[in-house]
A = this chain, B = another copy of it.
Amino acid sequence: MQTVDEILRIKKVKITAVRTVVLRHLLSQEKAQSLKDIENALVHTDRSSIFRTLKTFEENKVIHSIEDGSGMVKYAVCAKGCNCEPKDLHYHFYCNNCNKTFCLFDVPFQNIELPENFKIQQANMVIKGLCSDCNH
The verdict on A128 contacting chain B, using a C-beta distance below 8 Å, is yes
Q: A interface, how many residues as a size bin?
A: 20 to 34
What residues on B are CB-neighbors of A129 within 8 Å?
114, 118-122
Residues A91 and B112 in contact in the complex (CB < 8 Å), given A118-B129, A127-B120: yes
- Distance of A91 Cα from B126 Cα, bound (Å): 11
Residues A68 and B124 in contact in the complex (CB < 8 Å), given A114-B107, A115-B107: yes
* Min distance, Cβ A59 to any Cβ of chain B, angstroms: 15
* CB <8 Å contact, A132 and B110: no
Residue of B nearest to A86 (CB): B129
- Distance of A121 Cα from B126 Cα, bound (Å): 11
7 A-B pairs besides A107-B115, A110-B110 with CB distance below 8 A are: A67-B69, A68-B124, A93-B118, A114-B127, A118-B130, A120-B128, A124-B128
